[in-house]
Amino acid sequence: MRPFMDKDFLLETDTARELYHEHAAKMPIVDYHCHLNPREVAEDHRFRSITELWLGGDHYKWRAMRANGIDEKYITGDASDWEKFEKWAETIPYTLRNPLYHWTHLELRTAFGIDKLLNPLTAREIFDECNEKLQQPEYSARGLMRHYNVELVCTTDDPADSLEWHRAMAASHPSSGDGWQGTMLPAWRPDKAMAIEQPVAYKQYMERLSEASNIDITSYQDLITALQLRHDYFHEQGCRLADHGIDRFFADSYKAVEICDIFDRTMSGYIPSAEEVSKFKSALLYELATMNAERGWVQQFHYGPLRNNNARQFDLLGPDTGFDSMDDLPTARQMARFFSLLDSEGHLAKTIVYNLNPAHNTMVATMIGNFQDGSVPEKMQWGSGWWFLDQKDGIERQLNTLSQQGLLSRFVGMLTDSRSFLSYPRHEYFRRILCNLIGNDVEQGLLPVEEIGRIRQMVEDISYNNARRYFNFPTA
C-alpha cells in the first residue's frame, strides 16, 4: 500500500515520475487568470492568520462546510479565526474523495512543511504552527509567490479600475535581492458593462465608468468610446488579456438603432426584455471582441454558470458567496455564429474557451477546430478544467478530449482562477496528472519511447513554455 501524498503522489509509473520530477516540477508558473487582490500583491500583504489566508473568500470550502452542517456564523459570519478554522478541520474528514482533501494537504505540505492530516485532533497544533510561520517575512503575499516559483500573474480587473496597484507594483519592482522577481499585470473583465438587465446597478456603473474614462456616457456610442479609452489605458499598463464571464454566447441579429434605443431607455429606468438584453449583449460583446483583436490581445470566454441560485442567501450575503452551479443551456450554434462573424471580418483574436458543464467538452473541443487559421499554433484554445471541473477527473477528461480532438502539445496549460495565495499547488496537481497520463501512455506502448525527448519537451511546454509564447506579455 502506497503512503498518502508521498513524493510520487498521482504518479503511477517510472516514466510518469521522471516526466514530473525532471521536467514539469522545475518549470515556473505563469498564472494567466486569477482573482488575487492586486493591492495585497503590491503591498506585500502579511496575513494575520491561516484563516484569513485559507478560508477568506474560498467558495469551495464554504460549500463543503455548509454541506457538513456548519452554521454560517463559522463560514462568513463573525466567529473568530480559530473557531472558523476549527469548523473547517471538523469538515475535512468528510471531504474524502473530494478534491478539497487533496488540495488542503498539498497546500499544508508545500507551503508550511506540515505532513500531518488535518482533523479535529490536529487542528489546534496545525493552526498554531501555520500562524507562527505566517509571522515570518517569507510568508507574505509576495513571499509565497516566490516560494512557488510564480513568474507572472494576471489579475481580473474592471474597465473602471484605476490599476493604481499595478502601477505601484511596476514602479517598485525589485531588480535584485530577496523580493519576488515576478510580474503582475491586469486583465480586462468588462462584465459589468454588459449587465444591462439590472437597470439600477447598470446606471450606477455607467457613472463610475464615466468618471474613469472622463467621458459623459449618455448614449451607446459614448459607452463604446469610454470602453475603448479604458481598453487603451489597460494596454498601456501591460494588459494583453481579456476575460469575459458569460452565461452563454450572444450572437443575435440586431440593428444599430435598436441597440442605441435599448441603451437610452434602460438609462431612463426601463427594464429591457430578455430579447432586448440578448441583442444588446450580442452587439457589445462583438465590439469588445473587436477591440481585443485590434490590440492583439488574447480573449478568454468563461461560459456556463448559473449564478446566485439561492435567493435567501443572496439577500443575506450577496453574490460570489458559494451559491452558483453549472447551467445546461444549449450554446453550440450561438458560439459558432459569434466566432464565424468575427472570423469573416478579420476580428477573431486568439481565444480561449472554458466550459463549465462537462457535457459540452467534445462540442467545445471540436468547435475551436473550426476557427484555427494557421496564423499561430493553436490560435483557438480550449481552456483547462474550470471551477467545478478543476479536479482530477475533470482535468483528465479535458486532457483526454483535447488529445483526441486537437493538439495537446500546443495547450497553454493550467491557471488557478483563485483568490488565494495558497492555490499555486493546483499547478503542481495539474502537472502531476498530466505527467501520469502521458507517462502511462509511454509505458503501455501507446506513445513511442523513441520519442521520449519530444515527450519531455511537450511536458515542459504545457507546463510553462506554451503560455509564455501564446500571450505575448510585454517584457521588462
**Is 443 within 8 Å of 13 (Cβ atoms)?**
yes
Residue whose C-alpha cell is 506540515: 114
CA–CA separation, 170 and 40 (whole Å)? 14
| Single-letter code of the amino acid located at 216 | D
Per-residue confidence (pLDDT) for residue 179, from 0 to 100: 75
Cα angle 354, 88, 431; round to 5: 40
At residue 17, the 3 state secondary structure works out as: helix
Per-residue confidence (pLDDT) for residue 28, from 0 to 100: 98
Per-residue confidence (pLDDT) for residue 57, from 0 to 100: 86
DSSP bridge partners of 246: 303
Q: Tell me the CA end-to-end span of the chain in Å, nearest whole number.
A: 49
In 3D space, the residue among 189, 195, 213, 208 whose CA is nearest the CA of residue 266 turns out to be 195
| Single-letter code of the amino acid located at 369 | G
**Is 338 within 8 Å of 283 (Cβ atoms)?**
no
CA–CA separation, 310 and 354 (whole Å)? 24
CA–CA separation, 180 and 202 (whole Å)? 39
- Do β-strands 305-306 and 325-326 pair in parallel, antiparallel, or remain unpaired? antiparallel
**Is 151 within 8 Å of 183 (Cβ atoms)?**
yes
- For each of the chain's 476 residues, which pLDDT tens digit applies? 999 999 999 999 999 999 999 999 999 999 999 999 999 999 999 999 999 999 988 999 999 999 999 999 999 999 999 999 999 999 999 999 999 999 999 999 999 999 999 999 999 999 999 999 999 999 999 999 999 999 999 999 999 999 999 999 998 865 544 578 899 999 999 999 999 999 999 999 999 999 999 999 999 999 999 999 999 999 999 999 999 999 999 999 999 999 999 999 999 999 999 999 999 999 999 999 999 999 999 999 999 999 999 999 999 999 989 999 999 999 999 999 999 999 999 999 999 999 999 999 999 999 999 999 999 999 999 999 999 999 999 999 999 999 999 999 999 999 999 999 999 999 999 999 999 999 999 999 999 999 999 999 999 999 999 999 999 998 75
**Is 281 within 8 Å of 275 (Cβ atoms)?**
no
CA–CA separation, 459 and 441 (whole Å)? 13
Beta carbons within 8 Å of 447's beta carbon, 6+ residues apart? 438, 441, 455
Three cell numbers written together for 418: 483563485
Handedness of CA 78, 79, 80, 81 (dihedral sign): negative
CA–CA separation, 413 and 176 (whole Å)? 29
How long, in residues, is the chain? Answer: 476
Per-residue confidence (pLDDT) for residue 172, from 0 to 100: 82
- Do β-strands 350-355 and 298-303 pair in parallel, antiparallel, or remain unpaired? parallel
For 134, other C-beta atoms within 10 Å of its C-beta total 21
**Is 205 within 8 Å of 160 (Cβ atoms)?**
yes
| Single-letter code of the amino acid located at 187 | A
CA–CA separation, 371 and 378 (whole Å)? 10
What are the DSSP calls for 444-466, one per residue?
A: TTSS-GGGHHHHHHHHHIIIIIH
Q: Where are the alpha helices (DSSP H) in 5-148?
A: 14-19, 38-42, 50-55, 59-67, 81-91, 99-112, 123-134, 141-147
In 3D space, the residue among 265, 264, 190 whose CA is nearest the CA of residue 227 turns out to be 190
In 3D space, the residue among 286, 292, 174, 175 whose CA is nearest the CA of residue 232 turns out to be 292
**Is 398 within 8 Å of 433 (Cβ atoms)?**
no
Per-residue confidence (pLDDT) for residue 176, from 0 to 100: 45
Rg from Cα positions in the chain: 23
Q: Which one-letter DSSP state was computed for residue 285?
A: H
CA–CA separation, 47 and 34 (whole Å)? 19
Q: Which one-letter DSSP state was computed for residue 157?
A: B
